[in-house]
Amino acid sequence: MTVMQAPAYRRAEYHGFEAGGGHFIYLVSAGAIFEIDADVRTVLTRLDGQELTHAALVRELASDGRDTAEAEALVRELRVARLIQLGAAAPVMPQAPPADFPLQALVLNVTNQCNLACTYCYEFGADKIATPAGKPKYMTLDTARASVDLLIAEAVGRKAVHITFFGGETLMNFKLLRDVVDYANAATAAAGKAITYSLTTNATLLTPEIVTFLSDNRIGVTVSMDGPPEMQDKHRVYKNGKGSYAVIEPRLRTLIAHHKTRAITARVTLTEGVTDVVRIFRHLKDDLGFHEVGFAPVTTGEERAYSLDDNGMDSVLAQFSLLADEWLEYALRGESHGFTNVSETISELISGVNKSHPCGAGLGLMGVSPSGDLSPCHRFTDADTHTMGHVSSGIDRAKQGEFLKKGHVEAKYDCQSCWARPLCAGGCHHEAFVRYGDTGHANLHYCDWIRQWTDTCLRIYGVLAVQNPGFLERFAERKGLS
C-alpha cells in the first residue's frame, strides 16, 4: 500500500561561498550562481541537516519577527528557484544525447610523425594507446577532403564549423594543411557555412612564410611548450636527446610578432620537476609575449617517473591560486591577464554550463587519423579500440552511442555527490582510459583539485559580480566572438 507522509523542505544541492563582502551559492542542478541575502541564509541555515514542513518553516521564519506573508513569499521564491525542494529530488538517469547530434569540429591528425621525442607524450610515450603500426603516417589530400565533406554533411543546422590541425608535429605536413584550407574554405562557402581553424605545434618548424599563412587565414595557434630553457629541455627533446628551446625561441618571437589575427596560446604540460607555474607563466607571457598561457598536469599512470605526486599537485594548486589572484587584480582594472585556466573556467561560469559530458569528444567533435579513421578526439587517434567510423563511410552511430553513454556524468557513480560536476563531469575520457582502463570512469585522482580550483574561480566570479560586473559582460561578449 502507499504510505502518505507529510512532505518536507530540504536544501537543494549547492556550494556556498563568500566573495567581495557578498554571500553566494552555486546551484549544482543548474550551474546557476546567485548572490543571496540574509533572509535566504536564514532559510538555508534552518534547513541545515534537517527537513521542515512548509508550515514549520514558515512558523520558524515568523518567529524571527517576520510577517507571515513575507515568510510565505520568501519560501515560495526559494522553492520556485529550486534552492529548496519539497521531498527528495528525482533520481538522475543517464540520458543519451540525440542520435543525430550535429558535428561542429574535427581534429585532423595530418600526420602521426613527430620530429621531437617528448618523454611524456601520450601518443608515443609509455602510456600510448595508439596502434599506428602499418598505418599511413601522413594524411593524404583525398582523406582530408573527405573529412571536410563529412564535417559539412554532419554539421546539420550549424552556421559555423571548425577544423583543428594536429599531429604528431602538425607542420611536418604543412603542404597538406595549405591545400585543406583552400578546399575547406570553398566547400564551406558553397554549403553556406562559416569556418574557423586552429593548429597545435611544437614550433620547431615555423618559418616566416608559414607564420604569414597562419595569420592570413586567421588560424589560431597553440604552442605546446613547457617554459624557460631548462624546463623546456627536460622532456621536450629531439630523438638524440637534444633540447628544443634554442630552436623554437626565435621562431616563437617571429610568430608572436607577425601573427596578428588570432591570440597565440602556450600550452604547458606540468610534470615532476616542471611545476614552477609562476616562473613558467612569467617567461611565456612576459618574456616571449604569448597572449594566453594554459597549464595541464601530464596525463599518465602514477608510476611514471615524470608523473606529479600529491606534493607536486599541492604546489601547482598554490601557484595557480597566486596567478588567479593576479588575474582578478587585472580584471578589477578591466584588463586581460592571460592565465587561460582562469579565463576558461570564468567563461563557463558566465554561461552556467551544466555538462552531461566532460567535453565535446565523440559528440560535436571527433578526431581523424591519417588513415581517415574517426575517433572520439585527437587523443584516441589510431587507437583501434576506439575507432568510431571512417571519413569515407561515416560515423559509426552504435559505437558513438556506446561511448557517450559510458561517458555521461550521470553514469559515473562517484560524481553524483560532487558539487563540481556541472563543470567537470568526471574529467577527460582519455585520461580515464589511461588511468583506469575505462573511458567511463571518473578521474578520481584529481577530484579534490577540481573542487578547490572551481571554488577559487567561483570566488573570483563573485568578487567581479560585486565590484566590476561590466568586466564579466565584456568577457562574455569576447568569448562569444572567439
Partner 1 sequence: MKHLRAINKKARAIGEAVAQVEAASAGTPTDMDEDVVALQQQPRPHVPMGCTLSFSPGWEVDAGGGTAGLCQPVERDIYDCYVTCFWPVQVPDHVNYSPDWASNCATATKDWRSLDLVFP
Q: How far is 401 from 407, CA to CA, in rounded Å?
A: 10
Nearest distance from C-beta of residue 456 to partner 1, angstroms:
16
Residue 349 in the binding site for partner 1 (CB under 8 A): yes
Count residues binding partner 1 (CB under 8 A): 41
**Residue 85, helix vs strand vs coil:** strand
Our finding on whether 481 is near partner 1 (CB under 8 A) is: no
What does the alpha-carbon distance between residue 8 and residue 51 come to, in Å, rounded to a whole number? 6
- Taking the C-alpha atoms of residue 213 and residue 206, their distance in angstroms, rounded to an integer, is 11
Q: Please enumerate in sequence order all residues whose Cβ is within 8 A of that of 346, keeping only pairs 6 or more positions apart, or say none.
A: 457, 460, 461, 472, 475
Contacts of partner 1 in 53-82 (CB under 8 A): 53-55, 73-74, 76-82
> For partner 1, which stretch binds (CB under 8 A), given 33-41, 95-103, 104-112, 294-302?
33-41
- Establish if 88 lies at the interface with partner 1 (CB under 8 A): no
Which residues are 389's β-sheet partners?
395
Q: Long-range CB contacts (< 8 A, 24+ apart) of 122-125?
A: 122/299, 122/300, 122/379, 122/430, 122/434, 123/168, 123/379, 123/381, 125/300
Distance of alpha carbon 232 from alpha carbon 252, whole angstroms: 13
- Minimal distance in Å, beta carbon 412 to partner 1? 22
Q: Give, in degrees to the nearest 5, the angle at Cα 119 between 113 and 123.
A: 40
30 binds partner 1, rule: CB under 8 A: yes
> Is 31 a residue that touches partner 1 (CB under 8 A)?
yes
Grid coordinates representing 97 are: 544525447
Q: Shortest approach of partner 1 to residue 105 CB, angstroms?
A: 22
Residue 87 or residue 394: which is nearer to partner 1 going by CB?
A: 87
3 state SS of 162: strand
Among 12, 40, 363, 404, binds partner 1 (CB under 8 A): 40
DSSP 50: -
> Residue 74 corresponds to which cell in the numbers above?
520568501
Q: Which of 10, 13, 36, 399 binds partner 1 (CB under 8 A)?
A: 36
In the complex, minimum distance from the CB of residue 60 to partner 1, in angstroms, rounded to a whole number: 15
Comparing CB distances to partner 1, the nearer of 58 and 308 is 58
Q: How near is the Cβ of 57 to partner 1 at its closest, in Å?
A: 11
The contact set with partner 1 (CB under 8 A) reads 1-2, 4, 6-7, 24, 27, 30-37, 39-40, 53-55, 73-74, 76-83, 86, 349-352, 354, 461-462, 465, 469, 476
